[in-house]
Amino acid sequence: AAGGLLSGLRVLISAGPTREPIDPVRFIGNRSSGKMGYALAAAARRAGADVTLISGPVALDAPAGVETVRVETAAEMHEAVMARTDRTDIYIGTAAVADYTPARVADAKIKKHADRLELTLSRTRDILRSIAALPDKPFVVGFAAETGEVEAHARAKLEAKGADLVAANEVGGAAPGGFERDENALFVCWRGGECHLPLASKTEIAHRLIRLIAERYYAENTD
């Protein structure tokens, strides 16, 4: 991939869901399959980047030529990502990181005695925000998974998370893309503009998004 769009750059990508343990046999998870993040890792590699993928539990093989690190919980993903930010030019947060985790993990399997069982959850740390707050931060790409008003939520996340670019997709119900599907469509926005990547395979969407990210990265990092 010598001479590619991203050659000489180090790209760090998170992908997949996280699993937050409740007890030794149960967890809280979500529907992310890892397909979007793995497609981005492969596309960034093909564009010549040095790629590291931090992956939650998924059923996919590591993309060829990509250093892949497997983690389980949001806390582990936070740690694995933050340990590598000083060697990163571009961070792409595709992972569906749990926003809440059980406040306590039971040591033994919880038995079903009562009719109701309440779980207390605590907020997890936001990986994207932690990276965006670094003094020498990389170019930060966030994703936004929304069930409606995709464009407004994407703009709000761009600001709230301090990202340089946000790629938003509609998920759930009637959406043709998003979680688990082989295809996706994205609304992409940054401070100076926006564009739509219409429905296509996640492989194709990943190529287009990588091209766009390279364009925005160089627009902000040319001296």
Which residues make up the interface to ligand PMT (CB under 6 A)? 14, 32-37, 74, 93-97, 99, 124, 126-128, 142-145, 157, 169, 171, 178-180
As a whole number of angstroms, the distance between CA 158 and CA 161 comes to: 6
Residue with tokens 């596309």: 43
161 marked among binding-site residues: yes
What letters, b where the CB count within 10 A reaches 16 and e where it falls short, cover 105-141? Answer: eeeeeeeeeeeeeeeeeeebebbbeebbeeeeebbbb
Q: How far is the CB of 118 from ligand PMT (least distance, A)?
A: 23
In whole angstroms, the minimum distance from the beta carbon of 86 to ligand PMT comes to 18
| Closest CB to ligand PMT among residues 110, 208 | 208
Length of the chain: 223
Catalytic, out of 30, 169, 184, 221: 30
Residue 99 annotated as binding?
A: yes
Nearer to ligand PMT, 12 or 48 (CB): 12
Catalytic: 169? Answer: no
Judge contact between 169 and 184, C-beta under 8 A.
yes
Q: Which is nearer to ligand PMT, 28 or 110 (CB)?
A: 28
Name the E strands within the chain. Answer: 10-15, 20-23, 26-28, 50-55, 67-70, 90-93, 100-102, 121-123, 139-146, 165-170, 183-190, 193-201
Q: How far is CA 34 from CA 7, 117, 129, 138, 158, in A?
A: 24, 31, 21, 23, 22
Smallest separation, CB 78 to ligand PMT (Å): 7
Q: 202: annotated binding-site residue?
A: no
Does 137 count as an annotated binding residue? no
> Between residues 46 and 157, which has the closer beta carbon with respect to ligand PMT?
157
CB of 185 to ligand PMT, least distance (A): 10
Task: Name the H helices within 2-51.
Answer: 35-46
143 is in an annotated binding site: yes
* Bind-site residues for CTP: 99, 109, 143, 157, 161
The catalytic residue positions are 30
Name the binding residues.
99, 109, 143, 157, 161
